[in-house]
Amino acid sequence: MKRSTTRIAAVMGEVHARIAARSYRAGTKIPSVRAMAQTLQVSVSTVLEAYERLVAEGVLYARPGSGFYVEGPVAPLALTELGPKLDREVDPLWISRQSLDTATDALKPGCGWLPPAWLYEAGVRKALRNVARASAAQLTEYASPHGHGPLRQFLSRRLAASGIDAAPEQIMLTESGTQAIDLICRFLLEPGDTVLVDDPCYFNFQALLKAHRVNVVGVPYRTTGADIEAFGAALAAHSPRLYITNSGIHNPTGATLSPVTAHRLLKLADACNLVIVEDDIFADFETTPAPRLAAFDGLSRVIQIGSFSKTVSASIRCGYVAARGDWIERLVDLKIATSFGGGRLAADIIHQAITDSGYRKHMERVRRRLNDERERTVPKLSALGIEPWTIPRAGMFLWCQLPERMDAAVLARTCLKDGVVLAPGNAFSQSLTAGDYLRFNVAQAGDGKLYEVLARAMNLCASR
C-alpha cells in the first residue's frame, strides 16, 4: 500500500469518526480542504482526494464554490446537481448570485440590469410619498385575485398600443416577471416535457426550466429571431410543449425579431400546437418597436409576460401575465395556491411611477444614455479585439466574440480576481457553443478599470 493511499484512508477515517460522534452533523459544512490539511498535517491533494472519495461514497456532498457538507437525512432537490455539471463561471445560478450579491463592490459589466442611478428613483420617491397617504385598505390588505385593478387597466391600454387586445380580466399581476414564467410552467408543463429556448437565451430561463425538470432544447438565434429551419426541425424532433423567448430586445444578443420570422414562427406553432411565452421585459427600451408575437397571434397561443424591474425599480417586485381569459383564471388559482394574494402596495407604487408624466422623460433619457454608452463601449471593446455579433438598435446588451476562440469562462475566472464580474457566453447557450462570447451591459461598462483588467486577463489567457 502506497503511503499516499494510507494518508487518504486516514483522512476518510477521521471524517467518518467525526460524523459517527455527531461532531459533524448531517447537513453541516465540514472544514475546508486547506484547514483539514493543516489540522491533520497532510497535503491539500490528499485531503481533496479523501473528500472526493467520501462524496462518491455518499457520505459528503460538494456545493460548488462553497465546500463539502455531510449528507443530510433526506436527499432534496439541489438545482446545481441537476443536469450536466457546469463550470462555476457558466453556471446560471452562480452568475445570478454573483450579480445579486451587492455586498461586493465589483464592476459588473456582465450584469443584466441598469445601475441604481439609472432607474426611476425620483418617480419611486414621489410614489412612496403619495402611497404613505393612501387608504388603510391600500396599505394593509391583499390585492384582489387578479391584482391591483388600476395597473391592469393601464397595462391593457399599453398592450392595445402594441396591437395586443387584452382586457384587464386577461391580465394577472405577479410578484415578478420570473414568477410569471414560473406559474406558466407550472400550468403547462409536466416533468419530462420539452421546452424550446433561443440559443443563446437569458440564462435564468435555463435555471427555471431545470427546476421544472423538463428537457430544454436550444434553437440557434439569428439577428432577425430564431432560425426558422432549426425551429421547424426542433418541433418535428422533440414535440415541445412550450417555447420561451424575448420580444422586443433579445437577451443576450440585443437583436430584434423581424415580422417575417414572427409570422413563420407562428405558422409552425399553430401546426404543432405549441404555446409561446413572450417575455416583453425590455419593451420600454425600444426606439423602433419590433413586432410582438402576441399581437400577430391575438393572445391565442402566445402568452406575454413582463415586469418593471429593468426600467422603474427591481426593489419593488411586480410583474404581469397577459393571456387567454380561461388560462388567466387557472393561473390565478395557481398563484393563490402557491403565493396566496398579491400585494397591493408594490403594484400601486409601480402604477403611480409609470403613469407619472416624468416616466416618459425618464425613459427618453435612459434610451439616449444607452445609445451614447453603446457608441462609447463598442470601440473600446473593439480595441481589445472583442467584437459585437450585431449592433443592437436599443437596449443595454452587447453580445461579443472574443478573439482567437479565447475561452470566456477562463477569462471570467481571471477577471473575477480583479473584481470584475463577466457573463461568459456558455451561461446563455444550451448547446455550450458560445464559449468565446461574452455579454456586456453598456450601462455597466463605463469604468476605465474594466478595460485595463480585461486587457491584462486577455494577455494572460492568450499566453497559456
| Between 3 and 133, CB nearer to its own copies | 133
Footprint of its own copies on 194-253 (CB under 8 A): 204, 207-208, 210-211, 241
Any contact of residue 447 with its own copies (CB under 8 A)?
no
Contact criterion met (CB below 8 Å) for 280 and 304: yes
Can you tell me which of 156, 162, 178, 246 binds its own copies, judged by CB under 8 A? 178
Question: Which residues from 287-306 bind its own copies, rule CB under 8 A?
Answer: 300-301
Q: Which of residues 381-410 bind its own copies (CB under 8 A)?
A: none
- The Cβ of residue 48 has, within 10 Å, a number of other Cβ atoms equal to 17
150 lines the binding site for its own copies (CB under 8 A): no
Contact 156, 166 (CB under 8 A): yes
Contact string (CB under 8 A) for its own copies, positions 415-444, x = contact: ------------------------------
Q: Is 84 in the site for its own copies (CB under 8 A)?
A: no
Among 37, 46, 109, 113, binds its own copies (CB under 8 A): 113
Q: How far is the CB of 385 from its own copies (least distance, A)?
A: 33
Nearer to its own copies, 23 or 339 (CB): 339
**Could you tell me the CA-to-CA distances from 285 to 159, 354, 383 in Å, in that order?**
15, 14, 27
Q: Which positions from 265 to 284 touch its own copies by CB under 8 A, shown as an x/- string?
A: --------x-x---------
Q: What is the DSSP string of 12-63?
A: HHHHHHHHHTTSS-TTPBPPPHHHHHHHHT--HHHHHHHHHHHHHTTSEEEE
20 touching its own copies, by CB under 8 A: no
Region from 37-45, 95-103, 160-168, 370-378 binding its own copies, contact rule CB under 8 A: 95-103
Rounded CA-CA distance 299/320 in Å is: 14
Minimum Å gap between C-beta 461 and its own copies is 29
Closer of 206 and 377 to its own copies (Cβ): 206
Q: Is 182 in the site for its own copies (CB under 8 A)?
A: yes
How many residues in the shown chain lie near its own copies by CB under 8 A?
96
* Binding positions for its own copies, 308-327, rule CB under 8 A: 309, 312-317, 324-327
For residues 255 and 252, give the distance between their C-alpha atoms in angstroms, rounded to a whole number.
Answer: 8
Is 402 within 8 Å of 390 (Cβ atoms)? no
Secondary structure letter of residue 342 according to DSSP: P
Phi and psi torsions of 87, nearest 5°: -60, 145
Length of the chain: 464
Angle (CA) 412-109-286 rounded to 5° is 135
Identify the bridge partners of residue 221 per DSSP, sorted by sequence position.
226
